[in-house]
Structure 1
Amino acid sequence: MSDSSTTAAGDCTEHAEPRTRVTEAEVEALVRGICFKTGPPRRLGVEVEWLVHEEREPQRPVTPDRLDAAYAALRSVPLGSALTVEPGGQLELSSPPAASLMECVGTVSADLAAVRAVLRRDGLVLAGIGHEPWHSPRRYLREPRYDAMETALDRTGSAGRSMMRASASVQVCVDAGHEEPGPLGHGRRWWLAHTLGAVLVAAFAHSPMAGHRPTGWRSTRQLRWMEIGPGRAGAPVPDGEPRAAWARHVLDAPVMCVRREDGPWEVPDGLTFREWTRSGAPRPPTRADLDYHLTTLFPPVRPRGHLELRMIDAQPGDDGWIVPLAVTAALFDDPEAAETAYRTVKPLAERTLALPAPHNPLWADAARDGLADPELAEAAADCFTAALAALPRLGATTEVTDAVAAYRDRYVLRGRCPADDLLDRLRGADARAHGKDDLR
């Protein structure tokens, strides 16, 4: 979840006429015209989110005062990426659009080094975990947007607060693709993102805990998105024409809030954007309201001119984020690898039961079992092999290809994911301490 936007081929909120009332037909035309911008894949981006922990005592919550001081210091650091703070105090770096994989890696790596140096002076570190394993979710930011978001999400339970306050991800942004059919065609890429997405969930699952305890899911972060519900965190079934499907989804999705210049924002219950355009109440919706509405939808694949793939958990290690970035870029932007990925994951679509991601059995199995699921493990192994063959064609350095190969050997070929390492360490700590864990 992010307010910032890494653009690969542009952002679907550009050229807004903020005070112009929009009709239902205008909304459909606008969404169809601007959320998928087709052309040869040329740009790549990544948004990396991190939890912030105490370096010496990671299980102790960082106080708001300490976060305030650290983030004030970061505001003076020159960065190539956009730096934003999430509702629970998570940090996010959003790269500018890059012309190549290595340009993207270079920019974000340099920015992360600068951010870590500032945080280290205050005794803080970035933690690459998909869901906070220790602390109860807490709000850090107090803004009208997040007040309204919390009110809206609370209607479906506590999952929304966990998503806002305690989750972190690696979001890869790729171009929408060619208008014409083929391995890089926008219809194929839209379908591939929703089916390959389950493989990415399983291969990079890294959030098996909450409140010091295993949740029973390798990706608790993905579980929280499922619990929020399809209206806010779901996607249309990726069959048929993407533009029409996404336009319908946008119109039928619930309005999170009606913003006001004076007074608290209204949080309607059950009002869809389609109903808002028809009724004009509590006030007529404008083009600016549509633009804002698009930022309040959190599907696993979000079209914003480009495709924003949002399903990957934050990864361990300083450079762990590079592997999912490299694998995803290879499987989407190299024609041979894209064709292999499509053929590999096509049989998995039978497990979706024509339900949208992430609210279907395939995605649930991926989040719960990771690569312990034999079909997902086999698909991941084939996709990693295709990615490794493609990366030199994309200009990847030996360091990047070696990192992908090491990940494949350590996890994918063994039917494991980083969540399994955390669980193994927790079990070992429990055994040593007779029930008292000392996991770091």
Structure 2
Amino acid sequence: MCKVVTEDGPRSASRPRTDPRSSSTGPDLEGVAVAMSVHGEHVGELAGVDEAREHVRRGALAPAAPGPVGLELEAHLVDRAHPGRRVPWARITGLVEDLGPLPGRSRVTLEPGGQVELSGPPGDDVAAAVAGLRADAAVLRSVLGAAGLGLAPLGTDPARPAARVSPGPRYAAMEQHFTAVGCPVAGAAMMTSTASVQLNLEAGTPAEQHDRVALAHALGPVLVAVSASSPMLAGRETGWASTRQQIWGDLDQARCGPLLGRRDPAEEWADYALAAPVMLVRFTDEGGAEPVTGRVPFADWAAGTTLLGGRRPSAADLDYHLTTLFPPVRLRGFLEVRYLDAGPAWPAVAAVAATLLDDPDAADAAAAACLPVVGRWTAAARLGLTDPALHAAARDCLAAAADRVPADLRTAVHALAEQVEAGTGPGAAVLTTARAHGPEAALLAATEEDQ
């Protein structure tokens, strides 16, 4: 049976390299540090800020040649008979607990709004990763369909208001933290109304890592525009092509903003993590978490300037803190690309992103194509492919990737390239259906797409 996992955070990760955790159908509890804390072992306080920085820096980028790919796909769970209602938590968990092992060995996890996430083990390349995730998604859709439920892979829920159905203490504490720091609306929407496709890629050799991290960021605005499938939220048109990306932009940028790429990425990630405010303090003996209701940078906790939970942090606390940081590209030993809207064309989008980062010739072409739009995250989220510069960069990037993706994915990528050439994104279908038949119809239509 599949075990329901909810405590690995809003965006869990499957490791792209060989790792026994990546192929398990059990919980991925964000590594050894959290496993230690589950057993109540808050031992060994960090000696100070320097030790904390070195701990993060060492874990940021593990040298490994590009090639293996990990994929994760989120989708909104929809009751076909009552698409305007969220599915009750007990109904969701009951169905997931009855699942047997999936053919592609993906883990099934649940998000606070009832979204379902499939996290596949690493494939040898993006074609293998897509094939495994497709097979598992087909089984999951069949099981859910027999229960009258569907999966809608869209960047945001176009119909239903934000609402948390998970009783998990981590999510309750996150909700309280976002309220305390002044972004309750964006926090609730992020947790309960968004869905993405996430790509996990190797960090590269030490000589490659700076350029790979920089390119992953440079591609961000272009691929946000290409994948944008979320022009609606909670029953209304938002005026944004990717409302999912706009929601992340409305959250604390010390937690969600991109790395700037001005120096060694591991050093920058360490400084980013220490400057970011602590969101939660986990109380392992009770299995819960307490929100931090002020802005306390982790560096202040590590230095002892501010004590949280009546103590200074351990390495386990620092690793847990890293799971509450949500930049567009997160460094977890590998590159965790987090900025893509979920959508019906997710296999093609994943193939393009992986090829542009892992194929040297495609990467060179993409780097040149993206230069005019580097850092244009807001324009990409608001305008998508209607922005002329982003449209030109997207056309060039698709051209660079189209004949270099694995053969099994070329038909899908060529279809995506034609869409991009026409300036049409997946959000257009959402708007067309919603305007003709209402937001609930748009949500239902997304459950019927051939994925």
Q: 1:429 offset after TM fit, Å?
A: 3.9
Instruction: Read off the aligned partner of 1:404 and give its amino acid letter.
Output: V
The correspondence for 1:82, drawn from 107, 128, 149, is 107
Q: How many residues align?
A: 411
Supply the distance in 1 between the matched residues of 2:217 and 2:126 (Cα, whole angstroms).
22
1:261–1:32 Cα change, 3 Å: closer
- Asked whether the 8 Å contact 2:86–2:114 carries over to 1, the reply is no
**TM-score scaled by length of structure 2:** 0.86
Deviations 1:324-347 (A, max 9, x none): 110011101100001110111112
1:309 lines up with 2:337 in the alignment? yes
SS at match of 2:55: helix
Q: Specify every segment of 5 or more residues in structure 1 that has no aligned partner in the other structure, as ranges.
A: 353-361, 431-435
| 1:414 alignment partner in structure 2 | 422
Unaligned runs of 5+ in 2: 1-8, 20-28, 37-41, 446-451
* Alignment of structure 1 residues 4-83 onto 2, 5 Å: 4-9=12-17, 14=31, 16=33, 19-22=43-46, 23-74=48-99, 80-83=105-108
Contact 2:104 2:120 in 1 (8 A): no
Q: Structure 1 157/13 Cα, relative in aligned 2: closer, same or farther at 3 Å?
A: closer
1:328 counterpart = 2:360: no
Contact 2:103 2:132 in 1 (8 A): no
User: CA 1:3–1:424 in structure 2 vs 1: closer, same or farther (change >3 Å)?
Assistant: closer
> Cα deviations across residues 353-403 of structure 1 (Å, max 9, x unaligned)?
xxxxxxxxx111100111000110110011011111211xxxx234x1001
Q: How far does residue 235 in structure 1 lie from its aligned partner after superposition? A: 2.4
User: How big is the shift at 1:427?
Assistant: 3.1
Aligned to 2:191: 164
Does the CA contact (< 8 Å) of 1:169 and 1:313 recur in 2?
Answer: yes
> Aligned partners of 2:135 and 2:259: how far apart in 1?
37
Deviations 1:232-278 (A, max 9, x none): 21123122211111110000000011122356633221111100011
- The structural deviation recorded for 1:61 is 3.1
Higher mean C-alpha displacement, 75-84 vs 412-421: 75-84
Alignment of 1:29-428 (within 5 A): 29-74=54-99, 80-154=105-179, 155=181, 156-180=183-207, 185-262=208-285, 265-268=289-292, 269-279=294-304, 281-282=307-308, 283-316=311-344, 320-349=345-374, 352=375, 362-391=376-405, 396-398=406-408, 400-409=409-418, 411-428=419-436
Quote how far apart the aligned CAs of 1:79 are: 5.3
User: In structure 2, what is the Cα distance between the partners aligned to 1:228 and 1:385?
Assistant: 34
Q: CA RMSD in A?
A: 2.2
Q: Distance in 2 between matches of 1:341 and 1:196?
A: 7
Q: What is the identity percentage for the equivalent residue pairs of Structure 1 and Structure 2?
A: 38
Could you tell me how far 1:77 is from its partner in structure 2?
5.4
Change (3 A) 1:299 1:437: closer
Distance 1:69 1:39 in 2: 39
Structure 1 residues 437 and 128, CA gap change in structure 2 (3 angstroms) = closer
Alignment check: 8 A CA contact 2:89 2:166 kept:
no
Give per-residue Cα distances to partners, 1:59-97, cap 9 Å, x unaligned.
343333432432232366565011111111111011112
Contact 2:391–2:420 (CA under 8 A) maintained in structure 1: yes
Tell me if structure 2 keeps the 8 A contact 1:51–1:168. yes
Change (3 A) 1:78 1:256: same
Structure 2 equivalent of residue 357 of structure 1? none
